[in-house]
Amino acid sequence: MNKKLVKEVKKSFKSHFKTKPLIIFSPGRINLIGEHTDYNEGLVFPAAINKGIVFAIQKNNSKKSNIYALNKEEMHEFSLNAITPLKNASWQNYILGVVAEIQKKGIVLENFNAVFAGNILSGAGMSSSAALENSVVFGLNSLFELGFSKKEMILISQNAEHNYAGVKCGIMDQYASMFGKKQSALLLDCRTIKSNTFKIDFKDYKLLLINTNVKHELSESAYNDRREVCEKVSRLLKINALRDATKADLDFIKSNISEEDYQKCLYIIQENERVHLFSKAIKDNNNAALGKYLYKSHNGLSKQYKVSCKELDFLVDSTKENPNILGARMMGGGFGGCTINLILKSEVKKFKKEISKLYQKEFNKECSIYSVKLSKGTRKV
């Protein structure tokens, strides 16, 4: 968590609203492996990180609620009696959605003021949206003593994303952001919404994120399209979700679906299996195996699930001949965002220079490189 960011948010709140706020920090997340498996009730391996959203909130005595997005320098005023999704909104619908989902439970909220800022770029695949939703629900829960459990809060956040942002996300992002543990990743079963904690120590290696700094227009519609394919094939197989399918099941109905849909569903089945193997490799301290599964995951996302893009593929391909990098893959929904790389600590500086130069030459734009620490979940500051 960034202390400077907390100070800036607190200062902005006092300057706008002249009172002392309650402050919440909600982290973004990385996902080690298990991409697009969450909405198929499968397995994922996320971790909360030390970058996220700082959210300041306090009650007010006026007839409207006010939210100030410090990074964008935008104020949004709204009435609690007439909440509907806004057209062409950027951040507003995530917050309005959380408020609306709380109201659906028959809870009468009072008006409030809030200021928030983050140090995760939107579209970087680190779930700034889930961090924002969680910060809002956690803040409202604390301020108005609503008594929600953490599990109830993440379901409110997920419904806000479905109903107000229009993205039919699984539960992974909200879960990792809320329940994250220091220096640990969570092997999460998205059906039971229960996780096992794995202490992470890659010894001489560390995780490095490289942001393509692109977000292709396809991302949200393609995400919902992929989900529809998975649900359609699940109905054909007469199962609840692809979590329950085997390759043999899929082969049995292969003639009834397109080759593209077959490959997408095969990817999900294989990725679930990779999550199992990845968790075993962590227990065995087998870093080389972890790297191998990262590359296989990326290959499936790019060639079978088709959610990669030329920038992501370039970054991953550029690591394959580098003996200091064990593995890399795209992370997040796709069509932009970050790659996650398992790299020898002593070689990070040299690699950063090399990859920045290569990326600039190929795309005539800069990539951004982040080191992250695995962090605790959403909490009061």
- Catalytic positions are 173
Strand (E) positions, 32-151? 43-44, 46-59, 65-69, 74-78, 112-118
Pairwise CA distance, residues 226 & 273, whole Å: 19
Question: Contact 46/31 with Cβ under 8 angstroms?
Answer: yes
Q: Which amino acid is at 251?
A: D
DSSP 354: H
Provide the total of helices (H) and of strands (E) in the chain, helices listed first. Answer: 11, 13
User: Shortest CA distance to 318 belongs to which of 330, 304, 331?
Assistant: 330
Pairwise CA distance, residues 235 & 240, whole Å: 7
Pairwise CA distance, residues 169 & 44, whole Å: 13
Work out the angle at residue 263's Cα, subtended by the Cα atoms of residues 232 and 238, and round it to the nearest 5 degrees.
30
**Can you state the percent helix, strand and coil of the chain, rounding each to 5?**
45, 25, 30
Residue 208, CA distances (Å) to 39, 304, 343, 344, 373 in order: 26, 25, 7, 10, 10
Which residue matches tokens 């809870």?
107
Work out the angle at residue 161's Cα, subtended by the Cα atoms of residues 307 and 107, and round it to the nearest 5 degrees.
165
